[in-house]
Amino acid sequence: MALRIVRLGEADVPRLTPLIAEYSAALMHGPAAAIDEAYVGRLLSDRVVEIAGAELDGELAGFGLYYDLPEAISARRAGQLDDLYVRPSARGRGVAAALIAHIAEAGAARDWVHLRWMVPEGSSAIPLYERVAEPAPWLNFVVRIDRTVAW
């Protein structure tokens, strides 16, 4: 098994689009989001978004979408892992852990104070997250602006 983590760019739109569509469909509790190459191209060219891709035996098997953010409490910066997805056929092979490690290493090089992420309650990935991270001392809340979107 050859696993390689790379930073994805606009040239990766065709291979990232199906993964983001799968991820969206897996989380949406209603109509799936309109994920197409135009949207993924905009995502990859967004000035604040970075996407790490996990290539497993040469195929894109997962991704982690993250941001570098100011962190007011520490007067430093922090990382926010906003989306992490591994194709079902690649799960259990260390892909998610490798993505998290890669992003954390990037954060260490940038002097982040921490890397944080939210996890849906009941997620099957929680045991992995408990092995590679510690629970945060805060709760998450949401103000639903567009109530047609549910996840």
At residue 30, the pLDDT reads: 62
At 30-40, the pLDDT tens digits run: 666 789 999 99
Q: What is the largest CA-CA distance in the chain?
A: 43
- CA distance to 6, 35, 87, 137, per residue, from 91 (Å): 18, 22, 7, 28
Q: What value does the mean pLDDT take over residues 85-100?
A: 96
State how far the Cα of 24 lies from the Cα of 104, in Å rounded to an integer: 24
Q: What value does the mean pLDDT take over residues 61-72?
A: 96
Closest CA to 85 of 24, 149, 14: 24
- Identify the structural domains of the chain with CATH numbers, from first to last: 3-132 (3.40.630.30)
